[in-house]
Amino acid sequence: MKLATLMSGSGLAIILSLFAPVMQAQSTPAPTPPMGWNSWNHFAEHVTDKDVRAAADALVSSGMRDAGYVYVNIDDTWEGQRDAQGYIHPNKKFPDMKALADYVHSRGLKLGIYSSPGAKTCAGYEGSLGHEKQDAEMYAKWGVDYLKYDLCSYTKNLKDQAGDDHAKAQQVMLQVYTTMHDALQAAGRPIVLSLCQYGWEAVWRWGAETGGSLWRTTGDIEDSYASMEKIGFSQAGLAKFAGPGHWNDPDMLEVGNGGMSKDEYISHMTLWAMLAAPLLAGNDLAKMSEETKTILMNREVIAVDQDAAGHQGDRVYTEGPLEVWSKPLADGSLAVAIFSRWRMPLDFDVPMSKLGYGATEPVKARDLWAHRDLDPIVGSFHTTLRPHSVVLLRLSR
């Protein structure tokens, strides 16, 4: 194409369209799924300033920060009282939130915080209802980078306003989340807004309209295979609602909390990576085993989650308790996860034709948990899966 044509209206439009995904990614506070740590799964209501500083230190010393885990997120129970002007202040567990933010930032990390659009939070602390602008200003003053905004106590308000009218309930939720997003924008500091409202009224269809960067699609996860399995595999079919700057969120990681086996935690990490889900560790970072570190810091698996194309993976096909999921990657390769949800070992043959390859076409393959290249696959891939285990491959022509 000649320069004159490129500089014409149609040529310029072509150039802008080619770079649109990149420009969109650079303009959003969450161009890839956020990665970091959240206090709730391990510390719950007992979290303190000291715990958060220790988590920040552990993210650095363990290598997790360098692997991409940069958010240090304080969940519920940090809130104190409001002053005469209505501005929120932390309670005695957090004597100086600005100093804490400065410490977290000095470690090359970002600070997250928690609130609710209701008058109270889940744990009964001060919520943001009627004080959205003041709270956003205070977060910006402290140096907060991320807000988890939990519907929780606002559910009564929602019932009062919408009753059983689902369309109206959606509009009410859209309004309360947009109100906080607009307040954060006006405060002048880039702050990721995380919608925590449990997937009500199919939030994946309208979450992006609020300005939120991610939205919970499920109820709370628990540290068990049954909970992880129910939540993770229920995300099938939601891929079209995710992309750079707006992510489906199946809740935090439970890896390392002790309720699952190694194979089950690997399946957990793999499924979240295939879902382009936020990777927010929820364990005690100061007491991680080497096994936990290996799972959380597998760079090849993290790369699947953080892939620049921003595609969420989806289920390709199933055979009873066996499931095959795929996720297109920016370099043209394909991430493929083969899960067994069965309690006994099973053999499985995966036809390459199910994944878009020719019957006699040799396909390059790398096992991302074994960290090794495999012989080219022709026709089908054979594997033996342990109970509740997974094989994660990166395939290319």
Q: Which residues are catalytic?
A: 150, 220
Coil, strand or helix at 247? strand
Q: Write the DSSP assignment of 22-84 as a string of letters.
A: HHHHHHSS-SS--EEEESHHHHGGG--HHHHHHHHHHHHHTSHHHHT--EEE--SS-EEEE-T
Structure tokens at 379: 């026709």
Please say whether the beta carbons of 279 and 35 come within 8 A.
Answer: yes
How many CB atoms sit inside 10 A of residue 297's CB?
17
What single-letter DSSP state applies at residue 210? G
β-pairing verdict for 146-150 and 110-115: parallel
Amino acid at 241: F
At which residue do the structure tokens 């595609």 appear?
A: 311
Coil, strand or helix at 345? coil
Coil, strand or helix at 217? coil
Please list, in sequence order, all residues whose beta carbon lies within 8 angstroms of the beta carbon of residue 127, skipping any fewer than 6 positions away: 115, 116, 117, 118, 119, 120, 121, 153, 154
How many CB atoms sit inside 10 A of residue 19's CB?
10
CA–CA dist 208, 375 (Å, integer): 42
- Buried b / exposed e over 70-80, threshold 16 CB at 10 Å, is bbbbbbbbbbe
Please list, in sequence order, all residues whose beta carbon lies within 8 angstroms of the beta carbon of residue 344, skipping any fewer than 6 positions away: 387
